[in-house]
Amino acid sequence: MKKSISIILIVCFIFGITLGIVFNLNTHAEKIAEINNLIENYNPNVENAILITETIYNKSNKNNIDRRLVLAIAIQESDFRQNVIGDNEEIGIMQIKPSTGKDMENNNELLNLYEVEDNLIAGIRYLKFCKNLMQGYASNYIELLELTATAYNRGPWRVMSKLENNINPVNNYAEEVLETRRLILAGQLTGGD
């Protein structure tokens, strides 16, 4: 009797693990498809949609950054266009300044901001840096996202200085990014320019 109960428990355990893996793979595939569809529907002319999709999904998960925030910032900054150069020499999809890109390199790594994957890696790492600095100032998750987006746009030191002087640092940029994120969550985002 004990032997058959043990066997039943082992079978249930293995079945549960297998089921969990299958559901996790489905969830992973669904999330990848969701991101890719959003990118291609938003900007049908985007180049490297699959690379953008996989990099945003993998690197935002690795760095514990809200992928919808990353998507909203990529839309705000460049509409997913890698060839965009900003007025202050910001580069690519995430509009990273060369000095910021250099700061986001690890050890002997060199990031080429003109390359899609490296640009996204630098942008996501910079978001993580901003998020970590803003955590002590936010009272809830949405406020943290808002302060993170503001710091991404204005620079974290400037935002922290304003916060420490009881000045609200949030600007239109952050409000637009969070509205875009809200539309992404609701499945209501329509095409770009």
**Domains of the chain listed by start with CATH number:** 2-186 (1.10.530.10)
Read off the pLDDT of each residue in 3-22 and give the average, rounded to a whole number: 50
Tokens describing residue 13: 């355990």
- How far apart CA 38 and CA 23 sit, in angstroms, is 22
Residue indicated by tokens 């032997």: 3
The per-residue pLDDT for 193 is: 57
The per-residue pLDDT for 187 is: 85
**Cβ neighbours for 109, distance < 8 A, ≥ 6 positions apart:** none
The per-residue pLDDT for 189 is: 81
- How far apart CA 124 and CA 59 sit, in angstroms, is 7
pLDDT at 3 over 90: no
pLDDT at 139 over 70: yes
The per-residue pLDDT for 23 is: 45
**Cβ neighbours for 9, distance < 8 A, ≥ 6 positions apart:** none
The per-residue pLDDT for 2 is: 54
Q: What is the pLDDT of residues 68-118, one digit of tens each?
A: 999 999 999 999 999 999 999 999 999 999 999 999 988 778 899 999 999
The per-residue pLDDT for 31 is: 84
Read off the pLDDT of each residue in 18-44 and give the average, rounded to a whole number: 73
Residue indicated by tokens 């640092």: 169
Contacts 24+ apart (CB under 8 A), 167-172: 170/146
* DSSP annotation of 139: S
CB distance 97 to 90 below 8 Å: yes
Which of 13-17, 140-144, 174-178 has the least mean pLDDT? 13-17
- Enter the pTM of the model: 0.84
The per-residue pLDDT for 9 is: 43
What string of DSSP letters covers 153-174? HH-HHHHHHHHHTT-----HHH
Helix, strand, coil percent content, the chain, rounded in steps of 5 = 65, 0, 30
Cα dihedral 122, 126, 132, 133, rounded to 10, equals 150
Q: What is the pLDDT of residues 23-33, one digit of tens each?
A: 444 587 888 88
Q: What is the mean pLDDT of the chain?
A: 87
The per-residue pLDDT for 164 is: 96
